[in-house]
Every structure is written in structure tokens, then in C-alpha cells.
């Protein structure tokens, strides 16, 4: 066992940290306030190689390990979780293709993303099917060499800016999860509409829209895996992406703790800095230990993927622990700031709003516990 | 053209530096290290010149194995190869300049660009010694004057311009009260000031590529340089803590105190 980062890992962490500090941070409040898409920040991130971290070298990527991706993503989230979510959305959309696609499909649908800045979206959630993935009602009907896609996908990250969509739909609703099939939609085919950008509580820099499909024709060669394999591909994708969401939570919490420490040192009450009061110290100590625990759990869940091990249990530990931890740490950070923490002029209330989303997206904290219990009770 | 740049390993300016209680040095545990910011500017300038004129950038660092981190950083920025002078133990400015002189004689660059000083001991001497010992021209404190983002600055000619025949370099220098422009014959030594450029990031593809770029190892004995320091640091101490200010009742007292106590007017 070795807890040392390699030289390359420290170097990429340093680059991501510098980018987060110098490029993301100065504009994080602006994009939170306006909920505009932070294209200028993402363009700079793309130039530095901070997008599409999951793409293997043979398909034009950098060939980073999952752990490398996690280390870099913590820094992005430290800068702004909304920006980080938009930056890792491509990975989420490309992973199903990398997991279930043929070599030819990977070259067609993944490699172009490494050549120029483009966005892809992952479409699983529906208005009526959130945690109950198998209850989805978007349908795929085969017609010769095409499928006809009908239905609606909800809360789709980067959907307004994407030029490619990885969509899950069912070829037979009665089969529940065994009917789910994954297809790639290129561009904006006839019958596809993109809804308005949702007005979110937090992570407002990330674009979130509804996609509607009315008789959208999808070539059969855009199907990833076989009919009915979509559920497995989606679950495996989430095994891969859970470490990333867990580390986004960790990055938010670290930012909150740093703000809380700085503030506690300079805020004077009763004639001394509040950092000298044990009540504040205990909150800071809890933040430090929980953040470290979440990070190590997340590192382990990514490392297991790199070792080719199944990480469903540990990545669910990491995701739910880190999400709940970030909620607690950011809430306490607001508490350390007192009345000022509740004001938008100070940075911590944003972090609290940003953290909340991690308990919800990519499997709620409750669904993670169901997954954990199922693994434990096997 | 071939450009040699330096990459000294220094304490991260953002870390908290503490002097050891016995005054023999600083507490190194838990410190983070970086490439000397002035050297990073030198690397950037070298890369920009090579992008324009072709050629290669060779980066050199002196120290133990740990300086590979700084060499790799320069390689990740885009430098083509690295030279590592493997030396541990004390080294003064003449030792550094002596070692660099041998590396220069071996590598035969057209131009050497170094930081004007390193931010750890702030000597500001190595570039000058090196030019003197090589018998080359020198242009120190290469700089620009305005904010990098201003329109005026973007339209200005670069501070380092190599002549069309690759035989001269024109350098804008920062001097007291303004800028001076000098021209040197190549080969020459240039040292960089803070406002010369904004160094690029080491991109992730750059970091991955740097893994396979060569680092050549040299040792002082092999270079025939005696690096026994002529300069010894006898004591280090932290600057005295700032004393609290005083309040004066009126302007007359303030003027009086400025005259008699502060002696500034």
C-alpha cells in the first residue's frame, strides 16, 4: 500500500489547482449569480487537457488512470462545483460508449471530443423515473435500419450546449430493466427539442435542461451494446463516475473548510479570534477529519477501478459519505461565518447550495445506501 | 537556435517559512517546493523564442534527485530536454555559476536565459558571474512595463528580440525610473525580471509527454568544478515582529514625531 502520489500525479494536481485558483475562482461568483454557461473557463480547461479525462490513449485521450482523474477533479470542484460538473459531464456521456461500444463506435463517438472542444450529455433520468431507472418510459421502436425514439429526459447536464447525446430508452417497457437500450444521438435530429435552462439552487454554472424526443430517428449502428444491455451499461458507467462525484463533494468541502479557517482566524469576538474558542475548533477539526476520510475512500474507489476490480460497494460508500460530509461541512462553514455566512457577499453559502446537489444527482444518498445494503447482504 | 534556461528548486512563496531556533537554516519539514518564479519566466521566454525561430530549449537544474520535479515541470511546459547537475550540499553563487559555465560549454547554446535571482536567497549574482566567466555579453532584468492585459502591451514589441541574422539580441531592461534597451551579440546571457511574460501552464498532455523526455545527469567532479563555497551563511534570523502603531492626539504632534522620532521630514 502506498499513499504517495506519483510525480505526474502531483504535477497534474498542481496544474488543476493553478487553473482552479487563477481561472475558475475569480469568476465562480459571477457564474453562480448569472447561471450562464462558463464557456470561457471550460475552453481554457480544454486547452490544458482538463476535459475528457476518462478517454484512453488509444482513442485520443491522455490515458490517465481513474485516480489521476479524481485527483484533478478535486481541484476543479474546489474552484467551483458547477464548473466542475460541466467539465466532467463529457466523461459521464462518453463512458457508456467506452464501456459498451465497439472499437469503431469509440473512434466515431469518443475520439472527436479529444480533438476540439465539444460537449456530450448523458440522458438517463426522466420526469417520472429518477431513482427508479427501470421505470423509464422513453421508448425505442425498431423500424428497419433505424430506431424511432419517443419520450423525455430530465435534468440533462450541458444538454443545451451538447452536440452528442448518450440516451437510455426501453425497447420493451414490460421487461423493466431488461428492456433498456443505449443509443447515441448525433447533433439535433428532427423531432428533438431542448428545453430551457433550469433555474437551480446550486451548481448554477452547470447547464441543466430537458430533452424531448418526438419520433426521432436513430440509426441502428448508433446503438451501444445489444438491445436490453443498456441497464448494465448505465450501472457500470455509474460505478465509473461515482468516484468523480464523490471527489466533487470533497473539493467543495475543502473550499468551505479553508474559508472557515481563514475567517475563524481573523474574526474577533470577546477580544480574540474565534479560532481560539473550542466550539469553533471542534467544528474545524470535524471538517478536517471528514474531508480526509472522504478523500481516502474516494481514492480507494478509483484505485479499485484502476486495478480492474469491481468497485460498486466502495464507490457507493465514497459517493454517499462524501455527499453527506460536504453538506455537513458546508453547513458548519456557514455557521462559523455566522450572519455573514448567510450573505451572498461571502463565499460559503454558495458552497452549501452546491453541496446539496451531490446528495441528489447520480444516485441519491438513499439509493447509494440501498446499493450498499444490497452488496452487504449478498 | 538553442536556448539554455535554468530551473532552480525553491520554497513555495506561499508556504510559511520558519527559521530554525539555532539560526542555521530554515525548517524544511512540510514545505512545498516550486520552480523559482523568475526561472519559470525564463523557461517561458525560451519557449516563445524557439516557437518563433525554431530550435530547442534545454533546461538545467542543480541539486539532488528532488530537482527532477522542477525539470519535469519545465519539460511539461515544453522544454525539449533537461540537464540535471547532481549535487547535494551547500553551494554559493560562484559554485552555481561555475557549474552552469561548464554546462554551457558542453551544450553550446546561442542564448542563456536565467531568472534575475532566486526567491530563496535573493542574491542576484549568478547571471552576471556566468556572463563574465564565459566572456559573453549580458542583459539583466529583461522586462516590460505595463499590465500584460493592456492593449498597449499586446501591441508592443516583445522585450526580447533576436536579430534577423540570429547574431544579436535586443533586450528591454527594467532600470530605476524606466526602461533601457540594450543590444548584445549572441551568444549572450539574459536574466529575467518579473514583468517579462506570464508563464504558461504545464498542460496535462505536456505533463504526460514530459515523462519520456530525456534528463541527462552530470556531476560536479565530472565537470571539473570545485564547488567548495567561498561564502558561508553564519546565521539566519526572522525579521523582527512589527510593533504596534501609536495614536497621536493631533496633527502638530504627528508632525513633531515625524521630525524628531521617525526623522522622515
Burial of A321 (0-12, 13-18, 19+ CB in 10 A): buried
Assess whether pLDDT exceeds 70 at residue B150. no
Which of A92, A99, A101 minimizes the C-alpha distance to A73?
A92
Share the mean pLDDT of chain A: 96
Distance CA A45, CA A52 (A): 10
Assess whether pLDDT exceeds 90 at residue B261. no
Assess whether pLDDT exceeds 80 at residue A314. yes
H or E element that contains B183: strand B178-185
Tell whether A64 lies on the interface with B, counting CB pairs under 8 A.
yes
Assess whether pLDDT exceeds 60 at residue A211. yes
The DSSP bridge pattern shows strands A208-219 and A223-224 to be: unpaired
Q: CB A14 to CB B211 under 8 A?
A: no
Each residue's pLDDT tens digit, A51-89: 999 999 999 999 999 999 999 999 999 999 999 999 999
Confidence of residue A364 (pLDDT cuts 50, 70, 90): very high
Q: Give all domains of chain B, ordered by start, each with its CATH number.
A: 2-260 (3.40.50.620)
- The HSE-up count of residue B106 (CA atoms within 13 Å, CB side) is 16
Cis-peptide, bond into residue B187, ω within 30° of zero: yes
Cβ within 8 Å of B, A 33-62: 47-50, 53, 62
**Residue range B243-253: average pLDDT?**
88
Give the domain ranges of chain A. 7-115, 120-227, 231-376
Assess whether pLDDT exceeds 60 at residue B230. yes
Lowest mean pLDDT among A137-141, A260-264, A342-346, B170-174: B170-174
Each residue's pLDDT tens digit, B85-125: 999 988 999 999 999 999 999 999 999 999 999 999 899 99
Q: CB A11 to CB B72 under 8 A?
A: yes
Assess whether pLDDT exceeds 90 at residue A272. yes
Q: What is the ipTM of this complex?
A: 0.87
Cβ within 8 Å of B, A 69-88: 72
Superfamily of domain A120-227: Butyryl-CoA Dehydrogenase, subunit A, domain 2 (2.40.110.10)
The DSSP bridge pattern shows strands A139-143 and A180-186 to be: unpaired
Task: Please tell me the predicted confidence (pLDDT) of residue B59.
Answer: 98
> B34: distance to nearest CA of chain A, Å?
10
A261 neighbourhood in chain B, CB within 8 Å = none
Counting residues of chain A whose pLDDT is more than 90, the rounded percentage is: 97
Taking the CA atoms of residue A21, residue A26, residue A28 and residue A31 in that order, the dihedral angle to the nearest 10 degrees is -150
Lowest mean pLDDT among A34-38, A291-295, B177-181, B229-233: B177-181
**Residue range A258-284: average pLDDT?**
97
> A62: distance to nearest CA of chain B, Å?
6
Task: Please tell me the predicted confidence (pLDDT) of residue B263.
Answer: 84
Confidence of residue B151 (pLDDT cuts 50, 70, 90): low
Task: Please tell me the predicted confidence (pLDDT) of residue A231.
Answer: 96
Superfamily of domain A7-115: Acyl-CoA dehydrogenase/oxidase, N-terminal domain (1.10.540.10)
Mutate to test the interface with B, among A14, A23, A115 (most CBs of B within 10 A): A14
Q: What are the backbone dihedrals phi and psi of residue A275, each rounded to the nearest 5 degrees, phi first? A: -65, -15
> Is A362 a residue of the active site?
yes
Confidence of residue B147 (pLDDT cuts 50, 70, 90): very low
Distance CA A225, CA B214 (A): 43
Each residue's pLDDT tens digit, A218-235: 999 999 999 999 999 999
Beta carbons within 8 Å of B259's beta carbon, 6+ residues apart = B265
Confidence of residue A117 (pLDDT cuts 50, 70, 90): very high
Q: What are the backbone dihedrals phi and psi of residue A94, each rounded to the nearest 5 degrees, phi first? A: -90, -25
Confidence of residue B166 (pLDDT cuts 50, 70, 90): confident
Fold classification of A231-376 (topology level): Butyryl-CoA Dehydrogenase, subunit A; domain 3 (1.20.140)
Task: Please tell me the predicted confidence (pLDDT) of residue B149.
Answer: 53
Confidence of residue B15 (pLDDT cuts 50, 70, 90): confident
Confidence of residue B155 (pLDDT cuts 50, 70, 90): low
Amino acid at each position: 500500500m502506498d499513499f504517495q502520489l506519483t510525480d505526474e500525479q502531483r504535477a497534474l494536481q498542481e496544474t488543476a489547482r493553478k487553473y482552479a485558483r487563477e481561472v475558475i475562482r475569480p469568476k465562480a461568483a459571477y457564474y453562480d449569480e448569472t447561471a450562464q454557461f462558463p464557456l470561457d473557463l471550460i475552453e481554457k480547461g480544454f486547452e490544458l487537457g482538463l476535459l475528457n479525462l476518462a478517454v484512453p490513449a488509444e482513442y485520443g485521450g491522455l490515458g490517465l488512470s481513474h485516480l489521476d482523474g479524481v485527483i484533478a477533479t478535486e481541484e476543479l470542484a474546489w474552484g467551483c462545483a458547477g464548473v466542475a460538473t460541466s467539465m466532467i459531464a463529457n466523461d459521464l456521456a462518453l463512458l457508456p460508449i467506452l464501456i459498451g461500444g465497439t472499437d469503431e463506435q469509440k473512434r466515431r463517438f469518443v475520439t472527436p471530443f479529444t480533438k476540439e472542444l465539444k460537449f456530450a450529455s448523458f440522458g438517463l433520468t426522466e420526469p417520472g423515473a429518477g431513482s427508479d431507472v427501470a421505470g423509464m418510459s422513453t421508448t425505442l421502436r425498431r423500424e428497419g435500419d433505424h430506431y424511432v425514439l419517443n419520450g423525455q429526459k430530465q435534468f440533462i447536464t450541458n444538454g443545451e450546449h451538447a452536440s452528442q447525446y448518450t440516451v437510455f430508452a426501453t425497447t420493451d417497457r414490460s421487461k423493466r430493466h431488461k428492456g433498456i437500450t443505449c443509443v447515441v444521438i448525433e447533433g439535433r435530429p428532427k423531432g428533438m427539442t431542448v428545453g430551457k435552462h433550469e433555474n437551480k439552487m446550486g451548481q448554477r454554472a452547470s447547464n441543466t435542461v430537458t430533452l424531448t424526443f418526438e419520433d426521432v430517428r436513430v440509426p441502428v449502428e448508433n446503438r451501444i451494446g445489444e438491445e436490453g444491455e443498456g441497464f448494465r451499461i448505465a450501472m457500470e458507467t455509474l460505478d465509473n463516475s461515482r468516484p468523480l462525484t464523490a471527489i466533487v463533494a470533497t473539493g467543495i468541502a475543502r473550499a468551505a473548510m479553508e474559508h472557515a479557517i481563514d475567517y475563524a482566524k481573523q474574526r474577533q469576538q470577546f477580544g480574540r479570534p474565534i479560532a481560539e474558542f473550542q466550539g469553533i475548533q471542534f467544528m474545524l477539526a470535524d471538517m478536517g477529519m471528514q474531508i480526509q476520510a472522504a478523500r481516502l475512500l474516494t481514492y480507494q474507489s478509483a484505485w479499485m477501478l484502476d486495478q480492474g476490480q469491481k468497485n460498486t460497494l466502495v464507490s457507493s460508500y465514497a459517493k454517499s459519505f462524501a455527499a453527506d460530509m460536504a453538506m455537513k461541512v458546508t453547513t458548519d462553514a456557514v455557521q462559523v461565518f455566522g450572519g455573514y455566512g448567510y450573505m451572498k457577499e461571502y463565499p460559503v453559502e454558495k458552497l452549501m447550495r452546491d453541496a446539496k446537489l451531490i446528495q441528489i444527482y447520480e444516485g441519491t444518498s438513499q439509493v447509494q445506501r440501498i446499493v450498499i445494503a444490497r452488496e452487504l447482504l449478498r | 537556435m538553442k536556448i539554455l534556461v535554468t530551473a532552480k528548486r525553491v520554497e513555495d512563496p506561499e508556504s510559511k517559512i520558519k527559521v530554525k531556533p539555532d539560526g542555521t537554516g530554515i525548517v524544511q519539514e512540510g514545505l512545498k517546493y516550486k520552480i523559482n518564479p523568475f526561472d519559470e519566466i525564463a523557461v517561458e521566454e525560451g519557449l516563445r523564442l524557439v516557437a518563433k525561430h525554431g530550435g530547442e530549449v534545454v533546461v538545467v537544474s542543480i541539486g539532488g534527485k528532488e530537482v527532477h520535479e522542477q525539470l519535469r515541470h519545465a519539460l511539461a511546459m515544453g522544454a525539449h530536454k533537461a540537464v540535471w547537475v547532481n549535487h547535494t550540499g551547500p553551494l554559493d553563487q560562484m559554485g552555481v555559476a561555475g557549474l552552469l559555465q561548464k554546462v554551457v560549454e558542453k551544450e553550446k547554446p546561442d542564448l542563456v536565459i536565467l531568472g534575475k535571482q532566486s526567491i530563496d536567497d535573493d542574491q542576484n549574482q549568478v547571471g552576471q558571474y556566468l556572463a563574465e566567466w564565459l566572456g559573453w555579453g549580458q542583459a539583466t532584468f529583461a522586462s516590460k512595463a505595463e499590465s500584460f492585459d493592456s492593449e498597449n502591451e499586446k501591441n508592443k514589441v516583445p522585450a526580447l528580440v533576436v536579430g534577423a541574422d540570429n547574431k544579436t539580441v535586443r533586450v528591454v531592461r527594467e532600470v530605476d525610473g524606466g526602461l533601457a534597451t540594450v543590444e548584445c551579440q549572441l551568444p549572450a546571457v539574459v536574466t529575467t525580471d518579473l514583468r517579462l511574460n506570464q508563464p504558461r501552464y504545464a498542460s496535462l498532455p505536456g505533463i504526460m509527454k514530459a515523462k519520456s523526455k530525456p534528463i541527462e545527469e552530470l556531476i560536479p567532479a565530472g565537470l571539473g568544478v570545485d564547488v567548495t563555497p567561498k561564502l558561508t551563511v553564519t546565521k539566519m534570523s526572522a525579521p523582527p515582529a512589527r510593533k504596534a502603531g501609536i495614536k497621536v492626539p493631533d496633527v502638530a504632534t504627528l508632525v513633531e514625531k515625524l521630525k524628531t522620532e521617525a526623522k522622515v521630514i
